[in-house]
Amino acid sequence: MEAYLLSIGIIGAIYALLSIGLNIQYGETGLINFGHVAYFAIGAYASAILSLAGMSVGLSMVLAGLIAALAAIPIGFAALRLKEDYFAIVTLGFAETVRLVIQQEDWLTNGVQGLASIPPLFSLSSSLSQNRLFAVVIAATVLLAMLAVYLLQHSSFGRILRAIRDNEVAVTALGKKTSTFKIKVLMFGSFLAGLSGAFYAHFISYISPEQFIALITFYVWMSIILGGVGTMRGALFGSLILVLILEGSRFIGDFLPGVSDVQIAHIRLGAIGLILMGFSLFRPQGLFGRKD
């Protein structure tokens, strides 16, 4: 039971890192990024490939985050020329392009068969002790990410980001180069997504292209909407709530004897949908969001 709860907590923390990265892009700057999973995939594969080549796991994870951040630069330039709706479409296309490249480039990623036997973050004889240490490290990483975002929010850089979100034309009229700020915030969010992908790869120890579909991005969007857009507490607790909903709904079948697995799957999706609709109707600003 402890191993199962640890696994849920670790996956929740991975989603929290993803949510913090997306929250700073959308909640602070107003950039609608539907391709967040692309940087999650880039981080996972970069760290897996580097560690399988013999590099230390810690260094490969940091480099994976940096590679994901660099991959955000082309999308950053696209953000300079596209309005919100069109930028969202471009990011969605970028995520699918990344997934197809991973799937087709067998020489690098092993294609649809994926990468197996990825080295763990810690090599201990007991898997439970290994997961405990992993949970401590990723929890510390999430707290550091939240601290970094808090400091950013309360700096002049953060104030300019919010000004861009509210009225980009006015910021430009004041002589600020908004393009630089957009690219930087995209790189920062993508670094966190890449780092979360690296954690995911070394926790699961096997990755393949079908694990990085667009649905992951929308799970992250659900997390920040549940918790409250623009708040770090929202990103953290929204992610944990989402994972609890997804995992808890697996046990619906225990209370419905005689129902087939296929029917349970449909009921599970319906239950998740109803919970999300309830939040949208009765708490549209999220758990920690402010009412307008």
The number of residues in the chain equals 292
What's the rounded mean pLDDT across residues 202-209? 96
Give the global pTM: 0.92
Range of lowest pLDDT (36-50, 107-121, 186-200, 219-233): 219-233
* pLDDT tops 80 at residue 195: yes
pLDDT band at 80 (very low <50, low <70, confident <90, very high): confident
The pLDDT of residue 290: 64
199: burial class by Cβ within 10 Å (0-12, 13-18, 19+)? Answer: buried
**Residue carrying the six token digits 């439970």:** 128
- Residue 117, CB half-sphere, CA atoms under 13 Å: how many? 4
Identify the top-confidence range among 124-128, 162-166, 286-290.
162-166
pLDDT band at 81 (very low <50, low <70, confident <90, very high): confident
* pLDDT tops 90 at residue 11: yes
Question: pLDDT, tens digit, for every residue of 150-184?
Answer: 999 999 999 999 999 888 889 988 888 888 899 99
Task: Give the C-alpha separation, 235 to 232, whole Å.
Answer: 5
pLDDT band at 44 (very low <50, low <70, confident <90, very high): very high
Residues 165, 212, 251, CA angle at the centre, nearest 5°? 100
* pLDDT tops 60 at residue 22: yes
